């Protein structure tokens, strides 16, 4: 295979390949499109398509596909071969600029949330030149946006690109006010840490809940879980190490900057962290990472579980979204810098994030809302459903000094003003990260820790980009009219801090007293479930902001609200149906069979001597019989609750019924089944236990 530098990005039509295969004029035109958003003319597209095809064929590719991200949460692709018939009866390999730029997949079976009628099946895919094409297997994959026949976005990429452009516009306005005319573009960057579990394929195949839902619906806690903290950063097992090595190689070929790997807290849990890159590309890369994780696992006789809570009682899996803002000149706008001038600019962008998170905490919460993530948020390893910001001691002191107009008690005891000449230098925050905070400042970026492990990171970053763009717009509108820029800047930041400091919390996010304070005293949102938060997508302030920046149309927002609630309902329905099926066809027969064997053993003992008490057998048979009755009754109650959903008037009513009734019936059925597991002989239990699953990979 060669050395890592030799095969890194070997399967990517990247800048190096474009330089080598395109003429100077075509290359310059394409780069202008990528870097500045300039329109690509047809002649350039034809030249790029020809070079892309020749390169792909030289790598063994026979097909191409427009690779896109519909509202299913996974990627989609339709493969077409490069072949065209030649006059002599053979074939030639062709690929035109028209085929590169636009595709026409059948959109009829993708979620649209009412954006199109059933008979309007056509959808369009449009090439995204800002994300490099790549080869997967024998197919050239071209990252694309996906829209309906009427032009509405049916994917996650299109609103993400719109949100990035919205933030770029407003950030450039702010930078111009600081006298920075050299910056042409401001981009957000993301490094998503991906957590996952590995279990053996053999055990996975024996559990219908894992196969149908991605998580265990039953399972008593084993004697040992994560109590000893011996798995976290522990020695990686040889089988897992082999998996990680091949995973890295596959990711590196695609230019995915896989950097850090380690064991996570729960047994069988691990993490992969990449180096951050532009948000659009990071989103594409994370979707690819999840796909390749699962493919590589299969080659090692393993299954990669990406569900947020595959096992009860141990840590679930998140995807920490490390987010920052940078200029095309390489300046991180969330880094304090080395001069008072840079400090002033940093503080303004910091305040923009603080205000954005406070004003649109509901959007951030619903951007990570899924049935799976509802199980994780608020548990011991994940942040609570209440959104708050952790800044650390030093930044807190800086903001307090500004708010009170008092001397900053840091390294330089100088009056804290935002006039460039008198603003003292301060270092970026050096305090420890708050692991309980949903949104923590970690030096030169924010770590949004609420994102679930199976989620696309697009949704969270769409809302974050858009909300920050709105804060920057408000600031630019005010500062552009100011006669005294420094004075107005100082006063504006003081006002922002006073108004939005309620969102800042540096304590323990798990403490019940904090949740009470957050809701009752600070007025923060506490949307614990998807049905609680998702309807707020259509709140007037949210619709107004997102449509004003051109990120979504109102119709697109309504469609996404419906789709997310529908996904929630379908997910829980599948889980509940699986529970009823497993309880009736696997667990109940196992419990009854074991009880019958005990009764038979007791009868045999009695036949030997009537005086034998058989306390063990009779007591256990009685308990198993009672549990079997509970399981039978609770399965019937759950089935009845599912049937009652058919009478729901709309998706809001159905999702509320699932939250309030179905989930409670599921918990009751699980409790009885898990109790039965603890008293049923292992040889009778019908599928692998938690102990088997969590400690089965050697």
What whole-number distance in Å separates Cα of residue 252 and Cα of residue 248? Answer: 6
What residue spans define the domains of the chain? 4-155, 163-217+228-552, 567-694
CA 501 to chain centre: 27
What DSSP line would sit under 67-84, residue for residue? EB-BTTSS-B--EEESEE
Cβ atoms of 343 and 419 within 8 Å: the answer is no
> What whole-number distance in Å separates Cα of residue 122 and Cα of residue 555?
18
Whether 72 shows a pLDDT value over 90: the answer reads no
| Residues, the chain | 698
Kind of pairing, strands 186-200 and 277-278?
antiparallel
Count of CB atoms within 10 A of residue 214's CB? Answer: 19
pLDDT averaged over the chain? Answer: 90
Of 642 and 108, the structure prediction assigns the larger pLDDT to 642
CATH class label, 163-217+228-552: alpha beta
Angle of helix 540-548 versus helix 458-479 axis, rounded to 10: 80
Q: What is the mean pLDDT of residues 596-619?
A: 80
Mean pLDDT of 62-91: 84
Binned at pLDDT 50, 70 and 90, residue 396 comes out as confident
Q: What is the mean pLDDT of residues 278-295?
A: 97
**Best-predicted range by mean pLDDT among 23-32, 173-182, 613-622?**
173-182
CATH of domain 4-155: 3.10.20.70
Does 392 or 368 have the greater pLDDT score?
A: 368
95 by Cβ neighbours in 10 Å (0-12 / 13-18 / 19+) ranks as buried
pLDDT tens-place string over residues 200-254: 999 999 999 999 999 999 999 998 888 787 888 899 999 999 999 999 999 999 9
**Is 184 in contact with 99 (CB distance < 8 Å)?**
no
pLDDT score recorded for residue 414: 44
Task: Determine which helix (DSSP H) or strand (DSSP E) holds 186, and give its type and residue range.
Answer: strand 186-200
413 band by pLDDT with thresholds 50, 70 and 90:
very low
CA pair distance 215, 504, nearest whole angstrom: 34
Class of domain 567-694: mainly alpha
For 431-448, the pLDDT digits (tens) are 545 667 899 998 889 999
Strand, coil or helix: 691: helix
Question: How far is residue 375's CA from residue 381's CA, in Å, rounded to a whole number?
Answer: 11
DSSP annotation of 538 reads G
3-state secondary structure of 452: strand
pLDDT tens digits, 483-492: 999 899 989 9
- The neighbouring-strand residues paired with 124 are 147
Whether the CB-CB separation of 407 and 415 falls below 8 Å is answered with yes
What is the pLDDT averaged over residues 142-148? 90
- Are the C-beta atoms of residues 281 and 254 closer than 8 Å to each other? no
Per-residue CA distances from 176 to 37, 184, 510 (Å): 20, 10, 42
Residue 419 has pLDDT above 70, yes or no: no
Q: 457: Cβ–Cβ under 8 A, 6 or more apart, which residues?
A: 190, 192, 282, 283, 286, 319, 321, 451
Sign of the dihedral defined by the CA atoms of residues 274, 551, 467, 359, in that order? negative
**Which alpha helices (DSSP H) does 90-237 contain, by range?**
97-101, 157-177, 201-205, 208-213
Q: What percent of the chain has pLDDT over 90?
A: 71
* pLDDT at residue number 3: 85
Kindly report, residue by residue over 497-533, the tens digit of the pLDDT.
999 999 999 888 878 899 999 999 999 999 999 999 9
**What pLDDT band is residue 409 in, cutting at 50, 70 and 90?**
low
Whole-number Å distance between alpha carbons of 259 and 87: 51
Mean pLDDT (whole number) for 680-694:
96
Considering only CA atoms, which of 14, 118, 17, 106 is closest in space to residue 66? 106
Rounded to 10°, the helix 615-644/554-582 angle is: 150
Mode of pairing for the β-strands spanning 269-274 and 277-278: unpaired
pLDDT at residue 443 in the model: 82
- pLDDT by residue (tens digit) across 549-580? 999 999 999 999 999 999 999 999 999 999 99
Q: Would you say residue 379 has pLDDT above 50?
A: yes
83-85 and 258-263 beta bridge pairing: unpaired
Q: The tokens of 665 are what?
A: 């019936």
CA distances (Å), 582 to each of 52, 427, 638, in order?
A: 50, 57, 13
Angstrom CA distances, 624 to 141, 620, 660, stand at 55, 6, 29
Segment 456-461 mean pLDDT: 97
322-336 pLDDT, tens per residue? 999 999 999 999 988
Q: How many Cβ atoms from other residues are within 10 Å of residue 415's Cβ?
A: 12
CA angle 542, 543, 547 (to 5 degrees): 120
Asked if residue 420 has pLDDT above 50, the reply is no
Q: Is 513 exposed, middle or buried (0-12, 13-18, 19+ CB in 10 A)?
A: exposed
* E strand residue ranges, 94-158: 102-103, 123-127, 134-136, 139-148
The CB-side HSE value for 258 (13 A sphere, CA atoms) comes to 26
3-state DSSP assignment of residue 437: coil
Pick the closest to residue 34 from 54, 19, 53 (CA basis).
Answer: 19
Residue 456: phi and psi, rounded to 5, are -70, 140
Residue 685 pLDDT exceeds 90: yes
Q: How far apart are CA 239 and CA 202, in angstroms?
A: 15
- 45-49, 92-96, 373-377, 470-474: range with lowest mean pLDDT: 92-96
User: What pLDDT shows up at residue 183?
Assistant: 95
Contact 357, 439 (CB under 8 A): yes
Inform me whether the pLDDT recorded for 475 exceeds 90. yes
């Amino acid at each position: 295979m060669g050395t890592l530098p030799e095969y890194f990005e070997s399967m990517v039509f990247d800048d190096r390949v474009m330089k080598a295969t395109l003429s100077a004029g075509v290359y310059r035109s394409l780069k202008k499109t990528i870097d500045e958003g300039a329109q690509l003319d047809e002649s350039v597209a034809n030249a790029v398509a020809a070079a892309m095809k020749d390169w792909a064929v030289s790598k063994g590719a026979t097909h191409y596909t427009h690779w896109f991200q519909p509202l299913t949460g996974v990627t989609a692709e339709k493969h077409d071969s490069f072949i065209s018939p030649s006059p002599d009866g053979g074939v030639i390999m062709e690929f035109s600029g028209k085929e590169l730029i636009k595709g026409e997949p059948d959109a009829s079976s993708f979620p649209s949330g009412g954006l199109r009628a059933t008979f309007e099946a056509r959808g369009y895919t449009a090439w995204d030149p800002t994300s490099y094409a790549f080869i997967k297997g024998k197919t050239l994959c071209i990252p694309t946006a996906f829209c309906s026949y009427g032009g509405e976005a049916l994917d996650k990429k299109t609103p993400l690109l719109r949100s990035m452009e919205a933030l770029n516009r407003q950030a450039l306005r702010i930078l111009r006010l600081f006298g920075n005319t050299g910056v042409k573009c401001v981009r957000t960057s993301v490094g998503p840490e991906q957590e996952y579990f590995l279990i053996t394929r053999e055990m996975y195949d024996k559990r219908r809940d894992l196969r149908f839902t991605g998580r265990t619906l039953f399972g008593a806690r084993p004697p040992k879980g994560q109590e000893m903290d011996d798995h976290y950063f522990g020695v990686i097992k040889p089988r897992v190490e082999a998996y990680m090595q091949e995973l890295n190689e596959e990711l590196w070929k695609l230019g995915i900057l896989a950097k850090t790997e380690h064991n996570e807290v729960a047994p069988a849990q691990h993490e992969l962290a990449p180096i951050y890159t532009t948000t659009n590309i990071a989103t594409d890369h994370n979707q690819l990472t999840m796909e390749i994780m699962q493919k590589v696992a299969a080659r090692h006789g393993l299954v990669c579980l990406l569900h947020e809570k595959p096992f009860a009682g141990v840590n679930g899996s998140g995807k920490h979204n490390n987010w920052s803002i940078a200029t095309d000149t390489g300046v991180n706008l969330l880094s304090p810098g080395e001069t008072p001038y840079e400090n002033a600019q940093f503080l303004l962008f910091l305040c923009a994030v603080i205000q954005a998170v406070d004003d649109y905490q509901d959007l951030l919460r619903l951007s990570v809302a899924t049935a799976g993530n509802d199980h994780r948020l608020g548990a011991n390893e994940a942040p609570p459903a209440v959104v708050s910001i952790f800044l650390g001691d030093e930044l807190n002191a800086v903001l307090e000094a500004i708010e009170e107009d008092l001397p900053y008690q840091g390294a330089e005891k100088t009056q804290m003003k935002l006039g460039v000449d008198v603003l003292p230098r301060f270092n970026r925050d050096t305090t420890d990260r708050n692991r309980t905070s949903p949104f923590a400042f970690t030096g030169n970026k924010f770590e949004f820790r609420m994102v679930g492990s199976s989620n696309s990171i697009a949704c969270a970053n769409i809302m974050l980009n858009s909300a920050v763009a709105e804060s920057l717009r408000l600031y630019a509108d005010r500062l552009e009219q100011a006669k005294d820029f420094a004075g107005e800047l100082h006063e504006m930041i003081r006002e922002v801090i006073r108004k939005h400091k309620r969102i800042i919390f540096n304590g323990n996010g798990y403490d019940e007293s904090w949740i009470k304070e957050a809701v009752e005293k600070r007025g923060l949102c506490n949307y614990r479930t998807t049905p609680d938060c998702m309807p707020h997508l259509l709140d007037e302030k949210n619709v107004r902001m997102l449509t004003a920046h051109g990120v979504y149309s109102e119709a697109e927002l309504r469609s996404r609200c419906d789709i997310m609630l529908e996904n929630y309902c379908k997910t829980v329905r599948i889980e509940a149906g699986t529970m009823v099926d497993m309880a009736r066809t696997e667990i109940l027969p196992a419990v009854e069979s074991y009880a019958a064997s005990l009764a038979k053993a007791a009868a045999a003992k009695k036949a030997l001597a009537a005086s034998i008490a058989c306390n063990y057998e009779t007591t256990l048979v009685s308990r198993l019989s009672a549990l079997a009755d509970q399981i039978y009754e609770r399965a019937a109650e759950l089935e009845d609750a599912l049937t009652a959903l058919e009478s729901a008037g709309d998706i809001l009513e159905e999702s509320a019924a699932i939250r309030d009734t179905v989930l409670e019936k599921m918990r009751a059925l699980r409790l009885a089944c898990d109790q039965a597991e603890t008293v049923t002989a292992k040889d009778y239990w019908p599928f692998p236990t938690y102990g088997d699953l969590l400690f089965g990979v050697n």
